[in-house]
Amino acid sequence: MSNINKDYIKDYIMEVNPKPPTFLEEMHKYAINNHIPIVDNEVAQLLNVLIKIKGAKNILEIGAAIGYSAILMSNAMEKEGIVTTIERREDMINLAKENIKKYNLENRINLLEGEAQNILPNINNRYDFIFIDAAKGKYMEFLPSCIDMLKKGGVIVSDNVLFKGMVANDDLVVRRKKTIVRRMREYLKYISDNPILETSILPVGDGVAISYKKEEK
Ligand code: SAH
Ligand code: MG
């Protein structure tokens, strides 16, 4: 049972909204079989639509894992556009590299290896779309650099912000996740109250926040 949406709603959406995209089926299967936490199909489709609406050309992702969402986002931009993605785990980095190569996207996806907290302040680039999908307790640490690097009119999508419903309901919080839940609540409050952002929180997948940057600081 999902603690975010009624199962019948999710099942229905999955039935009418075809997924995973066929070209990603093999990677999708691999991720499911190996318990790699790739984006939900509904979140994948939301990213696809948002990237097209925005006409994004320069995307930053925190948390590549095997490269599934990076490849998906690269595909959403069609012919042009670069995805820069950050990953710290060596096993994931190797799999991501293999997958990027397999899809011939070496020129379109740029993989940065290491801890995002260390890498972000050293990136000298600006993005029109940023996808945060890494350690849930660290979103608040990632955010200042992300806001700086985001162009005016740009979008930050934060994944897993409702974390199995725990963020919305204390009764669901398991003890060892208490800190993550507290930090995620602080994060959601921060991005909701920040005067330069306009944020919408959606109960899609594991919870997604979409933030629009209204002005430069
Ligand atoms: N976006 C991917 C899934 C990412 S899973 C997809 O949907 O296909 C989260 C990944 O973030 C994991 O592989 C984990 O190793 C990485 N990660 C977590 N915290 C990180 C950090 N602080 N710096 C870099 N990578 C991190
Ligand atoms: Mg996620």
Output the six-digit token pair for 30.
Answer: 């691999």
Q: Which atom of ligand 1 is nearest to the CA of 31?
A: 8
From the CA of 32, how far away is ligand 2's center (Å)? Answer: 13
Mean pLDDT of the chain: 95
Instruction: Tell me which ligand sits closest to the C-alpha of residue 63.
Output: 1
**Helix pair 90-102, 68-76: axis angle to 10 deg:** 40
CA 65 – ligand 2 centroid, Å = 10
- Is 143 a residue whose pLDDT tops 70? yes
Ligand 1: residues with CB < 6 A are 37-39, 63, 65, 68-69, 86-89, 92, 115-117, 133-135, 138
Which pLDDT score, from 0 to 100, does residue 215 have? 92
Whole-number Å distance, alpha carbon 81 to ligand 2 midpoint, is 22
Instruction: Identify which ligand lies nearest to the alpha carbon of 34.
Output: 1
Question: Are 213 and 154 a contacting pair, CB within 8 Å?
Answer: yes
Superfamily of domain 7-213: Vaccinia Virus protein VP39 (3.40.50.150)
pLDDT-derived band at 11 (thresholds 50, 70, 90) equals confident
DSSP H stretches of helix in the chain:
7-16, 25-33, 41-54, 68-76, 90-102, 116-119, 139-149, 178-193
pLDDT digits (tens, 9 = 90+) for 28-79: 999 999 999 999 999 999 999 999 999 999 999 999 999 999 999 999 998 8
- Long-range contacts formed by 22-27: CB under 8 A, 24+ apart: 23/75, 23/103, 24/68, 24/71, 24/72, 27/66, 27/67, 27/68, 27/71, 27/99
Instruction: Supply φ then ψ for residue 127, to 5 degrees.
Output: -125, 155
Distances (CA, A) of 153 to 55, 65, 139: 11, 28, 21
Closest CA to ligand 1's atom 10: 63
Residue linked to tokens 């066929």: 22
Residue 176: pLDDT over 90: yes
Residue with the smallest CA separation from ligand 1 atom 16 is 63
Around ion ligand 2, residues with a beta carbon closer than 5 Å are 133, 159-160
Choosing from 32, 62, 75, 138 the residue with most ligand 1 atoms within 8 A of its CB, the one to mutate for a pocket test is 62
Report the atom number in ligand 1 closest to the C-alpha of 39. Answer: 7
What pLDDT is recorded for position 3? 87
Backbone φ, ψ for residue 61 (5° rounding)? -125, 140
Q: CA-CA distance, 90 to 105, in Å (whole number)?
A: 20
List all residues 6 or more positions away from 85 whose beta carbon is below 8 Å from its beta carbon: 60, 61, 62, 63, 64, 67, 70, 96, 109, 110, 111, 112
CB 42 within 8 A of CB 205: yes
- Atom 19 in ligand 1: residue holding the nearest Cα: 135
Residue 18 pLDDT exceeds 80: no
Q: Which ligand is nearest to the CA of 159?
A: 2
Q: What is the pLDDT of residue 79?
A: 80
Nearest to 45 by CA among 67, 62, 26, 24: 24
Looking at the predicted structure, is the pLDDT value of residue 217 above 90?
no
Rounded to 5 degrees, φ, ψ at 189 are: -65, -45
Strand 82-87's sheet: what is its strand order?
A: 109-113, 82-87, 58-62, 127-132, 150-159, 208-213, 197-202
